[in-house]
Amino acid sequence: MSLGWILLLFVVLLALFGLYLSITAGRLDQLNRRVETSRHSLDTQLLRRLSLSSDLAGSGLLDPVSSLLLADAARAVRTAPTADASARDLAESDLSEVLRAIFATPEDVAQLHALPGGAQLANEMDAVTRRVEMARRFLNDGVRANRDVRNQRFVRWFRLAGTSVEPPTVELDDALPPGFGSR
């Protein structure tokens, strides 16, 4: 092989490697956008659950103890510092625990359904708790995919992640209340 062919082969391989790095950087950028979108979606669903919990606590449809517990849990979420993710996640987990206690059995949900306006609130609460669970799952899946790409050797060596911070997972208790059952 002549020097010209070796040089041409080297340039082609270098161009292919540059293309690979470019595609990987684009993938990482896409995953960053997916994580941000998922985080906004989770925040939206958590706000809907908070609003619905406050509405349910003040509706007079629950017994006084359940209403008070739900109102306190909702207040704790509302007053949790937004800058402290662990405090907010803990407050959201406490709200999930209270919802599981209130809707512990299908009979608890049936009692709420029997009251005027209760069916709508119960159905909305069922839907929003499921959406919170799904939104958190999507977010954490995106974060894991992002971390997998960030941990690739060439991404680290060539600093393709730039100055962006590695996104954290959201660890909160969002288990569905058993009274809603599984679909």
Instruction: Dump pLDDT digits (tens) for 17-76.
Output: 999 999 999 999 999 999 999 999 999 999 999 999 999 999 999 999 999 999 999 999
Over pLDDT 70: what percentage of the chain? 98
Which tops the pLDDT comparison, 84 or 183? 84
Is residue 183 over pLDDT 60? no
With tokens 């059995």, the residue in question is 105
| 119: Cα within 13 Å, side-chain hemisphere | 3
Range 153-157 average pLDDT: 94
pLDDT band at 182 (very low <50, low <70, confident <90, very high): low
For the ranges 9-18, 89-98, 135-144, 154-163, which has the lowest average pLDDT? 154-163
Check: CB of residue 168 under 8 Å from CB of residue 144. no
Give me the pLDDT at residue 80, please: 95
For residue 29, report the phi and psi dihedrals to the nearest 5 degrees: -65, -40
Indicate the pTM of the whole model: 0.90
CA distances from 24 to 11, 18, 171 (A): 20, 10, 28
Check: CB of residue 111 under 8 Å from CB of residue 127. no
Range 156-162 average pLDDT: 92
